[in-house]
């Protein structure tokens, strides 16, 4: 046994003859039988998802994967320009920007619903009111609420509609909708229920712990980044991006 | 226009109101209608896959995603030990090891089939014989053939069986099987047709250019790594791994 | 001007004819005249260091760069095993583990000295006492104090002795020594003033803002990692490390 | 002993009481006595450099570290925008672009001088002529020769002048100058001896194996990137860069 204790994992193991993933034989039980999305759920949760859970997971991944020329896409393309020899380097470079600004908020919604709101007693409406009051007292921004352009976020609406149609448990979405309502009441004007809120709440309803929501976002973004990196190999625009930025940069001496 | 030319992409674009992915409106056309795997195909190929193509893609991703305590998993867990604040850092660290040794060979199979073998005239059998002769002359190892333990690779068998049952085009798999046969004839003894060969050949049959095969492998591994990183958060073994390695390391002065 | 405002930098700029670094012409003013360490100070601070500042910076970098088979070294070697084609990938993989656990604490010492302790009035001794009281009340661990094995940390002693001999300003080191004293008084038994405390306090005395201390640690570790990665190229031990870990790993089904 | 063999390193080792770096005790022999640059040489070469070697190393690092708004700087700033929580993530993202395009060529000069040119017999002039003839026959570009703007590269001139003044061995620089001369003779018109050639040849004269030259470039760039990342924390321009690029990007449907 190692000094730091035993080295045990339940995610995956291999012998000379078999690979096991969370209790399932890779070749006999999984290969040809499950999708990439079901495997992701199995990796995180240790059990296979039900069909409606898979549908929601797919919808969340699709909603997060591709948003056009995002900062992480620019990073990946700059890295490909400098190191065209390494696909994985460009992908890693892009994924490193999938942090607190763009994917973190969904996980923060999850934490707020799974932990912070649970510290209060009462119905969903009561928990929501107390939570919103606490955020206002502490002058903290409520994650998942507000949007720069829109009064309605069509991705959020679609995800919520899917969940309703599929009839899955919606405890956390209900709580989040109550938080949304309480926040509007506090502020006295409209606030948008955005895609971040939908992803954080629906993932919570699927039983995904808030810390794992980041993993979901990262797999989604890896799909979008692979598309951009492969396009950069065939029709490079990295040098044009670099030149554009360089031409608009002014150097000035430190004061 | 930027000095380096126009900055154009066909992968994804966004305006204040919409997100478009390879010609499809994200909310109206994709969200709730396609899976993560179909999105990956759309990102790479610019069109949506047919159902049997999706099935094969899922099978390939499942076959690549999780192999237990691989070097990239150890790297990700070591990174989580040093920087527990960054899920994306641990994932990036693991993905950086998905390179020439473990995922590159599938792309090399793709290049061999899509480019090198096409330089020869004739039937699949004739192309295969000439290609194998060339590799022997140049003392180069043929990618996708041979295995440290097994005479049959069950993952390869399963993937080939699926392709046959689904009745999709199998030009490249046929070519690879001929290369396998020609290699055995040359050597005079059995050689294993391994999972690398199956993935490289089937991906080629799906119309995926060899350079994009690395992207497929990276998305697959990101799924497996997310599982290990999330387990490391809940039941850490990173310190035990570190201690084990440190206790077995001998420092010796340079000579 | 870009939508998000002007793009201005004072770190470095280039034209077709010249490169400027923080107000200095690269070829005429810097090349052949300053060391790598002086350049690092210039990059962070915008001015060149005095000789005694350079000496302390070198000492801090040397103290942080190499600690043998650390987790970040294992990560870099695992990445080299999987992707031997990319030196930068192995380095990036290793640096990603230089986070909250091993380098963050020095920056936390810097923040405590530069920000938290400054919220209190009085002499260094009074600030220290109030700060220690606050940490005890909040049951928070004081960064830079305590060591698993030693009552004296020889690296810390050496760094403090150098600073004394060089006669540079020592406001923050004095404050940290007072915090150390107050912590011992509180606890009633000995606590070690460790290398983390020395680096955080001396960097603060050099005028380096606490957030930049991480940058110092990262440059130091990049030096050590380059040594290990280059050795891994010539005398690889990555596969032996992998096999060792794999042989000690037990897979167990999820409960 | 591990299945893959013993795990031995000569770079660095630690016990509960000491840290050893390539045969030297960290506290007694190195701390306060050597600079970061000397430590880098020790990590790579296993011995300490002579003073004139240290001067040349410093000059090469200074010449490589900072070139203004390079692609790797843009990548690091995009990553900081998305993941402001991780200094190491931004640095890793930037370093991943330090590959074949911008730093690789110096290592390629080193390989050409240390390996390819040594396959020919004769004087430096004869080796150079034969090497240039071979490159022309194979229609390969000679690394280190040519420049987009200049007939003279002031960084290269400065580095060569320093080496002459310091009177160190210049076997490889002499060979590179002969290659430059032979290339001009072949082409019949002027070609620039650029900084890449100077770094590759001088590093070779310092006894640094060509594969380690990448490590030198990576440490240099980590210094420049730390400056930009720290500026991005204090005076962020990442969002302005993102907006600029987004505003200049045209989405067009795939054909």
Domain boundaries, chain B: 51-236
Q: C96 vs D87: CB contact, 8 Å cut-off?
A: no
Q: D224 vs C30: CB contact, 8 Å cut-off?
A: no
Q: What is the pLDDT along chain C (255 residues), one digit of tens a residue?
A: 567 789 999 999 999 889 999 999 999 999 999 999 999 999 999 999 999 999 999 999 999 999 999 999 999 999 999 999 999 999 999 999 999 998 899 999 999 999 999 999 999 999 999 999 999 999 999 999 987 777 889 999 999 999 999 999 999 999 999 999 999 999 999 999 999 999 999 999 999 999 999 999 999 999 999 999 999 999 999 999 999 999 999 999 998
Q: Which chain A residue lies closest to B92 (C-alpha atoms)?
A: A92
State which H helix or E strand residue A46 sits in.
none
pLDDT, residue C149, reads 74
Q: Is the pLDDT reported for residue D238 higher than 80? A: yes
Q: Where does the pLDDT of residue D229 fall: very low under 50, low under 70, confident under 90, or very high at 90 and above? A: very high
CA distance A8 to B189: 40
Give the other-Cβ count within 10 Å of D56's Cβ. Answer: 24
Distance to chain B for C58, nearest Cα, Å = 24
CATH number assigned to the domain with residue range D104-208, chosen from the 4 options 1.10.230.10, 3.30.70.560, 3.90.1150.10, 3.40.718.10:
1.10.230.10
Q: Name the architecture of domain B51-236.
A: Orthogonal Bundle (1.10)
Q: Cβ contacts of residue B89 below 8 Å, gap of 6+? A: A96, B79, B83, C96, C97, C99, D86, D88, D89, D92
Q: Cβ contacts of residue D213 below 8 Å, gap of 6+? A: D106, D107, D110, D199, D200, D203
**CB–CB of C150/C156 below 8 Å?**
no
Which ipTM value was assigned to this complex? 0.96
**CB–CB of D224/C30 below 8 Å?**
no
Enumerate the residues of chain C whose CB falls inside 8 A of the CB of residue D248: none
pLDDT, residue C13, reads 94
pLDDT, residue A201, reads 98
Burial class (CB in 10 A: 0-12, 13-18, 19+), D137: exposed
CATH number assigned to the domain with residue range C50-255, chosen from the 4 options 3.40.50.2300, 1.10.3720.10, 1.10.230.10, 1.10.150.130:
1.10.230.10
pTM: 0.97
CA distance D240 to A74: 13
Q: C71 vs B93: CB contact, 8 Å cut-off?
A: no
Q: Take residue D67 and report the two structure tokens written for it.
A: 């070139």
Of D21, D67, D243, Cβ closest to residue C19: D67
CA distance A55 to A59: 6
CA distance D246 to B2: 12
Torsion of CA A118, A122, A128, A129, to 10 degrees: -130
Of B10, B96, B240, Cβ closest to residue A7: B240
**CB–CB of D233/D94 below 8 Å?**
no
Enumerate the residues of chain B whose CB falls inside 8 A of the CB of residue A212: 226, 230
Enumerate the residues of chain B whose CB falls inside 8 A of the CB of residue A237: 4-9
Q: What is the pLDDT along chain A (255 residues), one digit of tens a residue?
A: 567 789 999 999 999 889 999 999 999 999 999 999 999 999 999 999 999 999 999 999 999 999 999 999 999 999 999 999 999 999 999 999 999 998 899 999 999 999 999 999 999 999 999 999 999 999 999 999 987 777 889 999 999 999 999 999 999 999 999 999 999 999 999 999 999 999 999 999 999 999 999 999 999 999 999 999 999 999 999 999 999 999 999 999 998
């Amino acid at each position: 046994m190692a000094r730091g204790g035993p080295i045990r994992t339940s995610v995956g193991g291999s012998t000379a003859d078999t690979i096991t993933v969370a209790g399932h034989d890779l070749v006999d039980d999984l290969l040809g039988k499950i999708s990439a999305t079901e495997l992701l759920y199995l990796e995180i949760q240790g059990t296979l998802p039900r069909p409606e859970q898979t549908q929601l997971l797919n919808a969340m991944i699709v909603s997060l994967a591709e948003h056009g020329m995002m900062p992480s896409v620019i990073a990946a393309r700059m890295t490909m320009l400098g190191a065209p020899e390494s696909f994985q380097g460009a992908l890693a470079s892009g994924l490193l920007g999938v942090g607190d600004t763009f994917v973190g908020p969904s996980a923060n919604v999850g934490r707020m619903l799974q932990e912070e709101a649970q510290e209060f007693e009462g119905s969903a409406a009561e928990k929501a009111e107390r939570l919103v009051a606490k955020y206002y007292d502490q002058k903290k921004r409520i994650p998942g609420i507000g949007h720069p352009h829109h009064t309605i976020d069509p991705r959020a609406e679609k995800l919520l509609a899917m969940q309703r149609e599929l009839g899955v448990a919606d405890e956390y979405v209900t709580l989040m909708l109550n938080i949304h309502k309480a926040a509007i009441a506090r502020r006295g004007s409209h606030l948008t229920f955005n895609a971040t809120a939908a992803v954080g709440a629906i993932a919570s309803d699927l039983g995904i712990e808030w810390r794992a929501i980041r993993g979901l976002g990262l797999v989604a973004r890896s799909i979008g980044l692979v598309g951009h990196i492969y396009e950069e190999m065939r029709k490079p625009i990295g040098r044009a991006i670099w030149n554009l930025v360089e031409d608009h940069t002014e150097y000035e001496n430190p004061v």
